[in-house]
């Protein structure tokens, strides 16, 4: 499998769910608690580069993670895929953001909020590992 040495999604620090072609990983700079990522294992930058099997596998782990977030974080979620820089893709490796939302969370301007993120705490990583 093609891996990019410097890619954080090819070499994730914390894996929450592992499937055949994809995984759920800890987002090291979450917008808020529970903001995690669904990534294909293969380094691709566009949906069209995925096989149908990889796409369905990604959808499967995404649903699994969304179900868990709904129970443990919030019934309100954003599930986002940004393809291309003009669409907000900031890292080459294709990924889907799963973001629990809360009333009044002030997450309106997503791009601004995501730019100012700080690194996830060890406590939050431990909390995520508990619920997954």
- Residues catalogued as catalytic: 95
In the chain the first and final C-alpha atoms are separated, in Å, by 26
CB of residue 25 to Zn ion, shortest distance in Å: 11
Q: Which residue is nearest to Zn ion (CB)?
A: 7
Taking the least distance from each CB to Zn ion, the nearer of 29 and 76 is 29
Q: Give the Cα separation of 73 and 100 in Å (integer).
A: 6
CB of residue 45 to Zn ion, shortest distance in Å: 9
Nearest CA to 18 out of 3, 44, 39 is that of 39
Taking the least distance from each CB to Zn ion, the nearer of 23 and 93 is 93
* DSSP per-residue letters across 46-99: SGGGS-HHHHHHHHHHHHHHHHHHHHHT-SEEEEEE--SGGGT--SSS--EEEE
Which residues does 63 contact at the CB level (< 8 Å), separation at least 6?
none
Residues that bind Zn ion (CB under 5 A): 4, 7, 9-10, 43, 93
Taking the least distance from each CB to Zn ion, the nearer of 12 and 34 is 12
CB of residue 60 to Zn ion, shortest distance in Å: 20
């Amino acid at each position: 499998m093609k891996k990019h040495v410097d890619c954080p999604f090819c070499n994730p620090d914390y894996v929450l769910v592992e499937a055949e072609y994809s995984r759920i990983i800890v987002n090291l700079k979450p917008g808020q608690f529970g903001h995690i990522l669904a990534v294909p294992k293969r380094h691709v930058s566009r949906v069209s580069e995925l096989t149908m099997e990889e796409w369905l596998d990604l959808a499967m782990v995404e649903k699994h993670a969304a179900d868990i977030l709904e129970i443990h974080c919030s019934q309100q979620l954003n599930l986002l895929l940004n393809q291309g820089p003009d669409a907000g893709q900031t890292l080459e490796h294709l990924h889907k953001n799963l973001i629990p939302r809360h009333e009044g969370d002030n997450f309106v301007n997503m791009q601004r909020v995501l730019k100012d993120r700080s690194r996830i705490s060890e406590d939050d990583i431990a909390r995520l590992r508990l619920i997954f």
